[in-house]
Amino acid sequence: MDQGDAPLLDALIDYRKSKRYGFTPPGHRQGRGVDERVLEVLGSQPFRDDVLASGGLDDRRTRNKYLKHAEDLMAEAVGAEVAWFSTCGSSASVKAAMLAVAGGSDGGLLVGRDSHKSIVAGLIFSGVQPRWITPRWDADRHISHPPSPEDVSAAWDKYPDAAGALVVSPSPYGTCTDLAGIAQVCHDRAKPLIVDEAWGAHLPFHEDLPTWAMDAGADVCVVSVHKMGAGFEQLSGVSF
């Protein structure tokens, strides 16, 4: 694959050039229905470019595969088998990952206690029982670090029937854990590891940065492209 390809951008250029008009949302009709005061502030271009991926840029059956091609490029760039883009941020992606791994299971999910509230919301919505792993308190810096492989291993000893483990790395304070060690601990028990890497979109792209989840052998990785990447607000991705 050519990482210089930009399939969605090309499709948008084509959409503009051919002056297409769709009958699907958004209701502002590429800006035609927008209040003048809004246009004065935002200009018309954001509305012109606000087009559905399926039933907009592409046809309803997504036969041109613009989005799929872009997701395949992402998967290749970050060393994943599959990648999906999602909107509603990692708050939605993390719930999808939790449901995929632990939905309907009785054993619960090992979860770092320093989890973001979207994970806690995922537990509430899914009914999956949390099997908390205590993060490491750093008394010198007065911050906590994500759980270590030893912490995760101890949690597995306590809850061997859990469906998988979920850790947040980088932590909200910006420190990372030994993901390869944690992945190993999980895989020794034939269990999957989900990494909430919401703050790590940049990690795969510079060798001096800490290892990122896919490289470290995690099974599912959630990343907020809109945080440390260059995506629009709410752009997130799930890779496995």
Ligand X SMILES: Cc1ncc(COP(=O)(O)O)c(C=O)c1O
Q: Give the footprint of ligand X on this chain (CB under 6 A).
A: 89-91, 94, 116, 118, 168, 172, 196, 198-199, 224, 236
Q: Which is nearer to ligand X, 198 or 218 (CB)?
A: 198
Residue nearest to ligand X (CB): 89
Q: Which is nearer to ligand X, 1 or 88 (CB)?
A: 88
Q: How far is the CB of 197 from ligand X (least distance, A)?
A: 8
Write down how long the chain is. 240
Q: Which of 71, 128, 61, 118 is nearest to 95 (CA)?
A: 118
Q: How far is the CB of 238 from ligand X (least distance, A)?
A: 11
CA distances from 124 to 103, 121, 147, 192, 222 (A): 12, 5, 22, 21, 19
Q: Which is nearer to ligand X, 30 or 90 (CB)?
A: 90
Q: How far is the CB of 90 from ligand X (least distance, A)?
A: 3
Residue 114: partners with Cβ closer than 8 Å, 6 or more residues away: 135, 144, 146, 168, 171, 172
Q: How far is the CB of 13 from ligand X (least distance, A)?
A: 28
Q: Would you put residue 142 in left (φ > 0), alpha (ψ -120 to 50) or beta?
A: left
User: How many of the other CB atoms lie within 10 Å of CB of 82?
Assistant: 11
Q: Which is nearer to ligand X, 30 or 91 (CB)?
A: 91
